[in-house]
Structure 1
Amino acid sequence: MELFHCFGARPEHRVDTRQAVDMLAASGCRYLAVNTHTIDRVDRGDDLPIGYWTATLGSVRDALGADSPVVPVLNINHPVTAEEAVERTHRAAELTGLRVIKLEVLDEDFTVSRNEAVLAAAATLVDEGFEVWPLITPDEAVLAECVALGSTMVRVMGSPIGARRGIDPQWREEMDRVLATASVPVMLDGGVGSVEHAVAAARQGFSSILVNSCLFADGDPVAALRGFRAAIDAADAPATLVRG
């Protein structure tokens, strides 16, 4: 199972360039999520933030070096309407040239996906040639619509953003149906709060998992990512037959 992560969910989650690079090294993550919530306050793509402090697309890309395999993707974070998500994507793509989109449209509290709005935004963006990874709450029919639109991966919430309680009991049955019928990779993204949640996700059949706010619970996101990486690798390892 692949491990994805962002670089903080709130302003108090401070990540500078060095720490962002160290987090990527600890996780083995192949993608650099570039936030777009400040798109109206920047004139260059390189100034878009990685997280909520001083790390930026330009500073992290420079620190990683030209030979780095890490691929930047646009994180369309915090829009509350499909129109806002599409407009923000257009502006971010214009500034950066990036075409892979981590798409969400959230409720007013920024905690739960608005599935119908996500579908509307995804339909527009896929039609325009973007690769779109939409975020939805568990819904077998909505996932099928995402696939029919052309989404190459679908991110499914286990519980509300920041809840840190893994897969909410009210969503568990529908999540099982989603995993049983999905024809594209499915990421668990939302509400992950512990290494145990990640191990359970690996065993349940998710292709990947995203962690964020829980990394900052003890103040050391690099160490937290090492723990997640080790646990996921152990869960993915084939069982060893021991003969007495």
Structure 2
Amino acid sequence: MELFHCFGARPEHRVDTRQAVDMLAASGCRWLAVNTHTIDEVSRGDDLPIGYSTATLGSVRDALGAASPVRPVLNINHPTTAAEAIDRTRRAVEMTGLRIIKLEVLDEGFNLSQNAAVVEAATVLVGEGLEVWPLITPDAAVFADCVELGSTMVRVMGSPIGARRGIDPQWRSATDALLADATVPVMLDGGVGSVEHAVAAAEQGFSSILVNSCLFADGDPVAALREFRAAIDSVEKPTELVGR
């Protein structure tokens, strides 16, 4: 199971370049999520932020070095309409040359996916040759639409963003059904609040999990990521623990 993460959900979550690199090392994450919500404030792709402090695409990429296996992806975070998501994606692709898109279209409270708008935006962007990872609330028909249009991974919410409740009981049967029939990787993305939630997701069959705001609960996201990584690995490799 892969562990993905961002670098803060709110401005008070401060991550500089060194800490961003340390977080990636602790998690083993192969992907660097590049925020795009401030695209109107920058003139170069390298100045797009990683989180909400001084870390940027350029600074983190330079710190990682050319030999790093970590690949940047465009995080189209916080749009509330399909048109906004499409426009921002096109601009970010032009600025950076990056073509993997972590796509969302959220409600006005930035808590839940607007599924129909996500599918609308994803359809356009996949049609333009981009690799798109859409975020949806669990719905079999919407999931099937995402797969049919060509999404290479679908991100499924367990509970509202920032809720830290894990998989909401009302969505458990829907997520079970999606995982049983999935023909593409499925990420649990939304509502993860603890290591126990990550372990449960691994046991349930998710291909990957994304964590963010919960990393900052105790003020040390690097230590939190080490705990998540160790817990997930213990589920995947139980035989290695025998005799220890």
TM-score normalised to the size of structure 1?
0.98
Q: 1:159 to 1:242 in 2, by over 3 A?
A: closer
Q: 1:240 to 1:88 in 2, by over 3 A?
A: closer
What CA deviation, in whole Å up to 9, does each residue of 1:15-50 have, x standing for no partner?
000000000000000000000000111000000000
* Paired letter, 2:235: A
Indicate yes or no: 2:49 matched with 1:49. Answer: yes
Residue 86 of structure 1: how far off its partner (Å):
0.2
What CA deviation, in whole Å up to 9, does each residue of 1:191-212 have, x standing for no partner?
0000000000000000000000
In structure 1, what is the equivalent of residue 191 of structure 2? 191
In structure 1, what is the equivalent of residue 147 of structure 2? 147
Give the match's secondary structure for 1:187: strand
Q: Which ranges in structure 1 are unaligned for 5 or more consecutive residues?
A: none
User: Which has the higher mean CA deviation after the structures are superposed, 153-162 or 167-176?
Assistant: 167-176
Residue 79 of structure 1: how far off its partner (Å):
0.2
Residue 242 of structure 1: how far off its partner (Å):
7.0
Instruction: Give the RMSD, CA atoms, in angstroms.
Output: 1.2
Residue 240 of structure 1: how far off its partner (Å):
6.5
The ranges of structure 1 where at least 4 consecutive aligned residues each deviate by more than 2 angstroms after the TM superposition are 238-243
Indicate yes or no: 2:165 matched with 1:165. Answer: yes
Number of residue pairs the alignment of both structures matches: 243
Q: Percent identity?
A: 81
Q: 1:241 to 1:73 in 2, by over 3 A?
A: closer
Residue 241 of structure 1: how far off its partner (Å):
10
CA–CA separation in structure 1 for the residues paired with 2:60 and 2:177: 39
Residue 181 of structure 1: how far off its partner (Å):
1.2
CA–CA separation in structure 1 for the residues paired with 2:240 and 2:21: 34
Contact 1:140 1:181 in 2 (8 A): no
Residue 238 of structure 1: how far off its partner (Å):
3.8
What CA deviation, in whole Å up to 9, does each residue of 1:162-206 have, x standing for no partner?
000000111111111111111100000000000000000000000
